[in-house]
Amino acid sequence: MRKLWKNRPMWIALIAIVLLVVLAGFTANGSGAKDGLFRTALSPVAAFLHTAESEVADFFVRVFTPSEISEENARLRETVLLQEQKLALLDETEKENARLSELLNFTEANPNLRFVTASVIGRDSNPYIDTITLNAGSRSGVTEKMAVITPDGVVGRVSEVGPNWCRVKTMCDDKMRISVMVQRTRDEGMLGGRCESDGELVGTYLYYLPGKADVRTGDTIRTSGIGGFFPKGLYVGTVIEVNEEGKGTHDAIVSMDIDFLHLEEALIVVGVDEAIG
């Protein structure tokens, strides 16, 4: 008995546990009227504590949340940036795909020509020298004076070649001349040089047409094949102005469809298969 008494706190605890569990069971059955009274009596205290709680909780939320929000913001910003980059890349890929498809269609439509596809990797900043640099060179079989074209027309001629690059003198260069013909009349002439109006490129000049040549606005100009560098029949542009009185100067102005400022890919004609053609 004395030993049991020695563990008095434990006994009290055990009895308290039993009583408390019974009390819990009692209130769980919904018959705790006194419990209800207790709660009613304590409700003002609870209301006060709730008010204090919201203040304390707000304090902790203020202490802990801003860093979470800023972290989340940083994460979201990063995600948005990533998505924007992906979208831009997708857009760029779509555009490139369209351009390359066009080039492919063009090469398929000209099976007698052998091409090397190249991207523009540089443009001369000098406004008087109209050249562009492509990312294909002697390793790809590119040599000087080869024709550079796009489905929209003739770009120019290779003027300098490196192992993996080449420089192309465009049709807008003042020293550039290629042999062309008027498709409708088959009259031949020379084409080249930059024609500007109010500082804007409007086309290139057509020279040396025969005296009786009947050239009209809207006539299509194609390469004549004379000289051997440009295959015959490649589209060059359309006549937009005929010089009626010009003697010793140009005979007409030819508009080109190529946007030299935004040209991104081009085809270098590296060979012509006569058998197919």
Partner 1 sequence: MKRRLLLIPAALAALFLDAFVLPALSSNGIRPLFTLSLAMAATAVTAVQDGMLIAIFGGLFTDLFCNPYLGLSAAAYLVAVVITYGFVRKNEQRRALLLLFALIGAVAAELIIFVFSLAIGARFDAHRLLSATLPSIILEAILTYPLAALYRSREKGNTLYK
Kindly list the residues in this chain that would bind partner 1 in the complex (CB under 8 A): 9-10, 12-14, 16-17, 19-25, 27-28, 32, 35, 38-39, 42, 46, 49-50, 52-53, 56-57, 60-61, 64
Residue closer to partner 1 (CB basis): 57 or 87: 57
Least spacing, CB of residue 67 vs partner 1, in Å: 14
d(CA 181, CA 247): 19
- The most distant pair of C-alpha atoms in the chain lies apart, rounded to whole Å, by 141
Least spacing, CB of residue 74 vs partner 1, in Å: 20
Residue closer to partner 1 (CB basis): 17 or 90: 17
Least spacing, CB of residue 26 vs partner 1, in Å: 8
Q: Are the C-beta atoms of 168 and 159 separated by less than 8 Å?
A: yes
Residue closer to partner 1 (CB basis): 24 or 89: 24
d(CA 135, CA 124): 15
Residues 6+ apart with CB under 8 A from 100: 117, 265
Q: What secondary structure does DSSP assign to 130-160, as a single string?
A: -EEEES--GGGT--TT-EEEETTEEEEEEEE
Least spacing, CB of residue 63 vs partner 1, in Å: 10
Residue closer to partner 1 (CB basis): 13 or 81: 13
Residue closer to partner 1 (CB basis): 55 or 198: 55
Least spacing, CB of residue 33 vs partner 1, in Å: 12
Position 65, amino acid? T
User: What is the distance between the terminal CA atoms of the chain, rounded to a whole angstrom?
Assistant: 121
Least spacing, CB of residue 95 vs partner 1, in Å: 46
Residue 210, token pair as written in the block: 């025969």
Residue closer to partner 1 (CB basis): 4 or 275: 4
d(CA 259, CA 265): 11
